[in-house]
Amino acid sequence: MYHKNKLTKVLSLTLALAFSATALNAQAKTFKVAVGDGAGGTQHELGKKFSAELKERTGNKHKAKLFLNGQLGSEQDTVNDAAIGTLDFSILAINNVTPFSPSVGILTLPYMIQSLDDAVALTQGEVGKELVENTIRDAGVRIIGWAYSGFRVLTNSKRPITTLEDLQGVVVRVPKNEIMIDTYKAWGINPTPMAWSETFTALQQRVVDGQDNPYITNYAMKFDEVQKYITNIRYLFSIEPLIVSEAVFQDQKPAVQKAILEAGEAATQHSAAWLKDQEANIKKELASRGMEISDPANGEKEWIEKAKTAVWPKYIDSIGGKDKLNSVLKSLGREGV
Ligand code: MLT
């Protein structure tokens, strides 16, 4: 009796394994992953971890090949390509997803996210789940992982900036993101919207004087070669989702879908730990390469007031209304508006 039961169990297990191997084998392929940033950044780290986890979880059958430095197109173009299924995956900054799915703007409202803990709470909690659903509906892409990249600091080649007065006359590149454009307008300048893939050359040729991105991104993009000054503004905590084409995702067998989702989750956990480990060292490294770092004057008070007063009311509807905003603020332990 015991042997019969045992044999049945072994047979079922063998059949189950054979079934899942067949399910995985059926579509064995190498997925293409567009990555906006260069090697050594948070996007790259998320992509490497995702790729390793996917390979392991599919018994080496499915691979993810990373194409760094915007080789597969500008970050916003990769959203379009994934939506129509000509690209499998992309890792890009959240601000480049907002134009396709406005409610994602909750993550790019100036001074909304005040720490890595806020970023983790929003992306991995109820808000994150809702944004995943909205992005599938609006943009045809599914967010399956998040890289956490730290605050976007302002860099420029002209002069040290600590006050809004210092900022006047500096030509700053921003992503094609209305919330960010309006934030700079609230600070008194007209920024230059430009694709990420064109930014290094524009800084090098002095078409623009500055830009903002996190320390790790500035390092991965070698911006220290073309920028001298850093201002530690904290208006946006950069979050960089890993998206998969919903068409490509739906085309996969359930076992592969499960592996993709689990690999994305493992990569997300890794990203938060990696940021904590790396950011301070990279800041030191940029300083040792000659970058001059300053803090905004008066605890950034003027920057915060101007941005929140002008930008928040304008985008309340697009991010889901006042009640939505207040429930998000409450979930972060903050006062409503
Ligand atoms: C941008 O500035 O367009 C993005 O934040 C760049 C990035 O993906 O790191």
196 lines ligand 1 (CB under 6 A): yes
Q: What is the CA(89)–ligand 1 centre distance, in A?
A: 16
Among 154, 218, 227, 240, which residue has the most ligand 1 atoms within 8 Å of its CB, making it the best to mutate?
240
- For residue 28, the model assigns a pLDDT of 77
- For residue 17, the model assigns a pLDDT of 38
User: Strands, E, within 73-191: which ranges?
Assistant: 89-91, 141-156, 172-174
Percent of the chain with pLDDT over 90: 91
Question: Which phi and psi (to 5°) does residue 30 adopt?
Answer: -105, 115
- For residue 26, the model assigns a pLDDT of 56
For residue 158, the SS3 value is coil
* Six-digit token string for 179: 């919330």
Which residue is listed with tokens 């915007």? 70
153-236+284-331 has the same fold as 24-148+239-278:
yes
Nearest-angstrom CA–CA distance, 195 and 157: 19
Q: How many CA atoms lie less than 13 Å away from 332 in the CB half-sphere?
A: 25
Instruction: Flag whether pLDDT at 258 surpasses 70.
Output: yes
Q: What is the CA(316)–ligand 1 centre distance, in A?
A: 23
93 lines ligand 1 (CB under 6 A): yes
Give residue-wise pLDDT tens across range 271-315.
Answer: 999 999 999 999 999 999 999 999 999 999 999 999 999 999 999
Mean of pLDDT over the chain: 93
Instruction: Flag whether pLDDT at 24 surpasses 90.
Output: no
Among 13-17, 137-141, 177-181, whose mean pLDDT is lowest? 13-17
Q: What is the CA(79)–ligand 1 centre distance, in A?
A: 14
* Six-digit token string for 140: 């045809």
Q: What is the residue type of 19?
A: F
Give residue-wise pLDDT tens across range 78-130.
Answer: 999 999 999 999 999 999 999 999 999 999 999 999 999 999 999 999 999 99
Residue 251 CB neighbours (<10 A): 13
Let me know if domain 153-236+284-331 sits in CATH 1.20.950.20: no
Nearest-angstrom CA–CA distance, 33 and 72: 9
96 lines ligand 1 (CB under 6 A): yes
- For residue 10, the model assigns a pLDDT of 37
Give residue-wise pLDDT tens across range 214-249.
Answer: 999 999 999 999 999 999 999 999 999 999 999 999
The ranges assigned to domains in the chain are 24-148+239-278, 153-236+284-331
- For residue 27, the model assigns a pLDDT of 59
- For residue 265, the model assigns a pLDDT of 98
Would you place residue 11 in the very low, low, confident or very high pLDDT band (cuts 50, 70, 90)?
A: very low
Nearest-angstrom CA–CA distance, 215 and 211: 12
Residues contacting 231, CB < 8 A, separation 6+: 153, 154, 155, 156, 160, 161, 162, 293, 294, 295, 296
Which residue is listed with tokens 């893939």? 197
CA distances from 320 to 103, 118, 315 (A): 6, 19, 9
**Whether this model's pTM surpasses 0.85:** yes
Q: Which architecture, in CATH terms, is 24-148+239-278?
A: 3-Layer(aba) Sandwich (3.40)
180 lines ligand 1 (CB under 6 A): no
User: Strands, E, within 75-222: which ranges?
Assistant: 89-91, 141-156, 172-174, 192-193, 210-214
Instruction: Flag whether pLDDT at 4 surpasses 60.
Output: no
| Closest residue by CA, ligand 1 atom 7 | 93
Ligand 1 atom closest to Cα of 96? Answer: 3
Q: What is the CA(180)–ligand 1 centre distance, in A?
A: 12
Q: What is the CA(229)–ligand 1 centre distance, in A?
A: 19
For residue 167, the SS3 value is helix
* Six-digit token string for 36: 């906006």
For residue 277, the SS3 value is helix
75 lines ligand 1 (CB under 6 A): yes
